[in-house]
């Protein structure tokens, strides 16, 4: 995964930025401002462990840029967390919020710890300790955290409770990813997968492909994949292959059914981590293939929704000639070389920070609902999500066409220009 890569994510994020900054002729001062975070917090969280001994954990919060609005981004718990990983992710959040035009900036946080080896009480103490260290620098009008790798709604509620105890009031807009009924938003569970398909629907329309005449193959069968498949099927399309990680075998498998996967039946044999029981799948008539077989299926659409670095110069050669669109549900599923190879093949890519921005868009809706203490119906949330995703997709594809850019470069140009403009308007640069 991201954290075990031999290379440095922040250097990659800066290189991506530098390339597009040169492309749009961004002035030196704005470049210098945007290639680094505005603020970085690095701190200690002492916790009295269940054993009675005190252990000190390292915590981070990076606020990359908040010219367009309060910083927004998750808090990760990971044993290999580094400041550079958090910096890169904070920067990517700035571009993601800007490309869908929500009034938020980019942030990310983390704690170096492994929740697998921590009791619930110890995790609660880490959450409360993180907030105690950061309470002056985060909040509904400055920086709004959310769940991320190995953190969930419970962690968010402990953090909210600590923040409210310190501030002496109720501030549900301090954090998102809360459970529905405790300040969470309806539709958040569906938001990322549905957002991928709202964008995909527009791409199909542009390419003149009726959804009902298309098939997709999906890597992953977790939150993003499941809701993307559901909505894509509702458009009349077929998903013929999905894949997942098998915890027992420590291997990935692909599950193929040319007539189309049956979501209701598959979900009955899927665990909460998005792992499908392969014996039961065989029983349901699925062909069980090696994990990487998802990429070579005879489909029109590929939806990588699991891991980064899956579409590479090597794996591109296995993509079928029928494939017209890659909709990136996952973060970073395509390497830089893989991207060039896709472009050469003329495959239309919906880049990750546009395709999967439905998640943060719905978190923004949660923030708005929490701040006004008025909660919307699910249809209203999903309708607003559709409007945001559709207009973001159309703006990117129009720019790509006009300027002869790839979809990824066009998305970066829009995002960086918006943030740069906000910095200029504020008189920062
Ligand atoms: P998840 O944990 O719910 O599901 C991950 C899925 O990937 C599981 O089905 C797992 O079995 C599968 N998987 C793991 N290794 C695999 C392998 N080698 N081959 C095939 N499948 C494999 O995660 P998710 O929330 O669906 O997130 C998926 C991706 O989308 C990640 O890159 C995440 O960063 C990104 N993303 C998620 C959200 C969100 O709101 N959930 C938002 C933006 C981006």
DSSP element (H, E) containing 289:
strand 287-290
Closest C-alpha to ligand 1, atom 25: 223
Looking at 108, 238, 278, 388, which residue is catalytic? 108
Choose one of 100, 248, 305, 389 to mutate for the ligand 1 pocket test, by most ligand atoms within 8 angstroms of C-beta.
305
Instruction: Tell me: pLDDT of 89 over 80.
Output: yes
Q: What does the block give as tokens for 99?
A: 């490309």
Determine the atom of ligand 1 nearest the C-alpha atom of 306: 7
Residue 8 has a pLDDT of: 82
358 near 382, Cβ under 8 Å? no
Instruction: Tell me: pLDDT of 292 over 90.
Output: yes
Mean pLDDT of the region 58-75: 98
Residue 108 annotated to the active site? yes
Determine the atom of ligand 1 nearest the C-alpha atom of 352: 44
Residue 369 has a pLDDT of: 98
**What is d(CA 21, CA 85) in angstroms, rounded to the nearest whole number?**
21
Q: What does the block give as tokens for 389?
A: 């995703």
Q: Give bridge partners of residue 43 from the DSSP assignment.
A: 59
End-to-end CA distance of the chain: 36
Closest C-alpha to ligand 1, atom 14: 245
Does the CA dihedral 372-380-144-120 come out positive or negative?
A: positive
Banded pLDDT at 2 (limits 50, 70, 90): very low
At 356 the three-state DSSP class reads coil
Mean pLDDT of the region 266-289: 96
Beta-carbon contacts of 323 under 8 Å, excluding residues fewer than 6 positions away, are 299, 300, 301, 302, 347
Instruction: Tell me: pLDDT of 284 over 80.
Output: yes
Instruction: Tell me: pLDDT of 375 over 80.
Output: yes
Residue 400 has a pLDDT of: 98
Instruction: Tell me: pLDDT of 109 over 50.
Output: yes
* 272 secondary structure, DSSP code: T
Residues touching ligand 1 (Cβ under 6 Å) are 192, 219-225, 243-245, 252, 274-275, 291, 305-307, 329-331, 356, 359
Instruction: Tell me: pLDDT of 229 over 50.
Output: yes
Give the distance (Å) from ligand 1 centre to CA of residue 388: 23
Give the distance (Å) from ligand 1 centre to CA of residue 229: 13
The pair phi, psi for residue 228, each rounded to 5°, is -65, -45
Banded pLDDT at 408 (limits 50, 70, 90): very high
Closest C-alpha to ligand 1, atom 32: 330
Instruction: Tell me: pLDDT of 5 over 60.
Output: no
Mean pLDDT of the region 119-128: 98
Give the distance (Å) from ligand 1 centre to CA of residue 402: 33
153-193 pLDDT, tens digit each: 999 999 999 999 999 999 999 999 999 999 999 999 999 99
Determine the atom of ligand 1 nearest the C-alpha atom of 221: 9
Closest C-alpha to ligand 1, atom 20: 244
Give the distance (Å) from ligand 1 centre to CA of residue 224: 7
Determine the atom of ligand 1 nearest the C-alpha atom of 275: 11
Determine the atom of ligand 1 nearest the C-alpha atom of 291: 19
308 near 2, Cβ under 8 Å? yes
Residue 6 has a pLDDT of: 59
Residue 9 has a pLDDT of: 85
Banded pLDDT at 336 (limits 50, 70, 90): confident
Instruction: Tell me: pLDDT of 345 over 90.
Output: yes
Give the distance (Å) from ligand 1 centre to CA of residue 373: 31
Banded pLDDT at 1 (limits 50, 70, 90): very low
CA distances (Å), 210 to each of 96, 146, 325, in order? Answer: 28, 37, 13
Q: Are strands 238-246 and 251-256 parallel, antiparallel or unpaired?
A: antiparallel
Q: Where are the beta strands (DSSP E) in 123-173?
A: 143-147
Instruction: Tell me: pLDDT of 7 over 70.
Output: no
5 near 400, Cβ under 8 Å? no
What is the pLDDT of the chain when averaged over all its residues?
96
Give the distance (Å) from ligand 1 centre to CA of residue 131: 27
Please state, for a pLDDT cut of 90, what percent of the chain lies above it.
93
């Amino acid at each position: 995964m991201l954290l075990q890569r031999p290379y440095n994510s922040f250097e990659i994020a800066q290189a991506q930025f530098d390339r597009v900054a040169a492309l749009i002729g961004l002035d030196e001062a704005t470049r210098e401002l945007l290639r680094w975070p505005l603020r970085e917090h690095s701190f200690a969280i002492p916790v009295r462990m269940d054993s009675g001994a005190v252990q000190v954990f390292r915590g981070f919060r990076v606020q990359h840029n908040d010219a367009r609005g309060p910083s927004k981004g998750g808090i990760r718990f990971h044993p290999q967390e580094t400041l550079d990983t958090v910096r890169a992710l904070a920067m990517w959040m700035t571009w993601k919020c800007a490309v869908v035009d929500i009034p938020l900036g980019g942030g990310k946080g983390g704690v170096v710890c492994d929740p697998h080896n921590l009791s619930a009480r110890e995790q609660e103490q880490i959450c409360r300790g993180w907030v105690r260290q950061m309470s002056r620098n985060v909040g509904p009008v400055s920086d709004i955290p959310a769940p991320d790798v190995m953190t969930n709604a419970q962690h968010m509620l402990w953090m909210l409770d600590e923040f409210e105890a310190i501030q002496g009031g109720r501030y549900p807009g301090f954090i998102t990813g809360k459970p529905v009924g405790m300040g969470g938003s309806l539709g958040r569970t569906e938001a990322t997968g549905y957002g991928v398909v709202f964008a995909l629907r527009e791409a199909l329309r542009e390419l003149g492909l009726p959804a009902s005449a298309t098939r997709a193959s999906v890597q992953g069968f977790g939150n993003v994949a499941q809701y993307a498949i559901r909505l894509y099927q509702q458009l009349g399309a077929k998903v013929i292959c999905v894949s997942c990680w098998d915890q027992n075998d420590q291997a990935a498998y692909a599950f193929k059914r040319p007539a189309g996967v049956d979501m209701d039946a598959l979900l009955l044999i899927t665990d909460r981590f998005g792992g499908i029981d392969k014996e039961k799948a065989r029983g349901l008539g699925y062909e069980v293939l090696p994990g990487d077989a998802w990429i070579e299926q005879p489909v029109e659409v590929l939806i990588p929704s699991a891991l980064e670095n899956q579409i590479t110069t090597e794996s591109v050669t296995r993509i079928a000639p029928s494939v017209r669109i890659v909709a990136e549900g996952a973060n970073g599923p395509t390497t830089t070389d893989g991207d060039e190879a896709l472009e050469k093949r003329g495959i239309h890519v919906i880049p990750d920070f546009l395709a999967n921005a439905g998640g943060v868009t719905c978190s923004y809706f949660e923030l708005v609902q929490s701040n006004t203490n008025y909660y919307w119906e699910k249809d209203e949330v999903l309708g607003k999500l559709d409007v945001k995703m559709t207009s973001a997709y159309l703006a990117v594809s129009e720019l790509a066409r006009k300027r002869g850019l790839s979809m990824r470069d066009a998305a970066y140009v829009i995002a960086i220009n918006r943030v740069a403009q906000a910095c200029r308007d504020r008189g920062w640069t």
